[in-house]
Amino acid sequence: MKTDIILAGVGGQGILSIATIIGQAALEEGLYIKQAEVHGMSQRGGDVQSNLRISDTEIASDLIPQGGADIIIAMEPMEALRYKEFLAKDGWIITSSNPFINISNYPQEESIINELKQVSNLILIDTDAVGKENNLSRSVNMILLGAASKALKSISFEKLCESVKTIFGRKGEDIVAMNIKALELGRNCK
């Protein structure tokens, strides 16, 4: 059993937090992990990408080949589309529908969404709206992770929640509760 995940977004959106939580949960499940990250100009709104490989056997490489990603988790649609060629034929894309328009030549949102809809396993979620409706605007990455948990067959939802408690525990109970609530909201979104 293996799960290869590409996580993508723009600096400051919480992609590396998602990778940390999934990685911690995988370790708690007794699985092997390898991770590679690209930060680019992340502090200036540049792209952030992480390859996260999870397996019940040892992993040789930390990079996911084209056509090898089981899951792409993206905090914004153009970043999901950027890595679409890495998606396996039966892979999943889980992405926020909210664009992060930080460049003047950002493609038409409708064309990006239409191209993403060509993927048979797609979860497209308006994380900003869910966050605002539930006073969780700072936890939209956890809403997205909750939605992605449906495709993470090798990691139980309970282990993701435990991982959130471990990772955010030093920030206090309120932060942990907020992030667990965001995870649950994402998990229950259609």
Side-chain-side CA neighbours of 168 within 13 Å: the count stands at: 21
- Please report where in the chains the tokens 């153009």 appear, as a residue: 78
* CATH number assigned to the domain comprising residue 132: 3.40.920.10
Which amino acid, one-letter code, is at 190? K
Counted domains in the chain: 1
**Token digits of residue 147:** 């939605």
Phi, psi for 33 (deg, rounded to 5): -135, 150
Residue 172 Rama label (left phi>0; alpha psi -120 to 50; beta): left
Name the strand (E) or helix (H) holding 181. Answer: helix 173-188
Angle CA 20–25–150, to nearest 5 = 100
- In this predicted structure, the answer to whether residue 166 has a pLDDT above a threshold of 60 is yes
Please give the C-alpha separations between residue 125 and each of 67, 133, 187, in angstroms, as whole numbers.
Answer: 24, 14, 11
Model pLDDT for residues 86-97, shown as the tens digit of each residue: 999 999 999 999
- In this predicted structure, the answer to whether residue 84 has a pLDDT above a threshold of 80 is yes
Model pLDDT for residues 110-159, shown as the tens digit of each residue: 999 999 999 999 999 999 999 999 999 999 999 999 999 999 988 999 99
Model pLDDT for residues 16-26, shown as the tens digit of each residue: 899 999 999 99
Distance CA 86, CA 109 (A): 21
Distance CA 13, CA 157 (A): 22
Which domain, by its residues, includes 163?
Answer: 2-188
pTM beyond 0.95: the answer is no
Distance CA 1, CA 149 (A): 17
**Strand 69-74 to 47-55 pairing:** unpaired
Strand partners, 53: 4, 34
Read off the pLDDT of each residue in 23-49 and give the average, rounded to a whole number: 82
Predicted local distance difference test score (pLDDT) of residue 1: 86
Predicted local distance difference test score (pLDDT) of residue 104: 82
**Strand 87-96 to 122-125 pairing:** parallel
SS3 call for 14: coil
Predicted local distance difference test score (pLDDT) of residue 65: 94
- Identify whether the C-beta of residue 125 lies closer than 8 Å to the C-beta of residue 96: yes
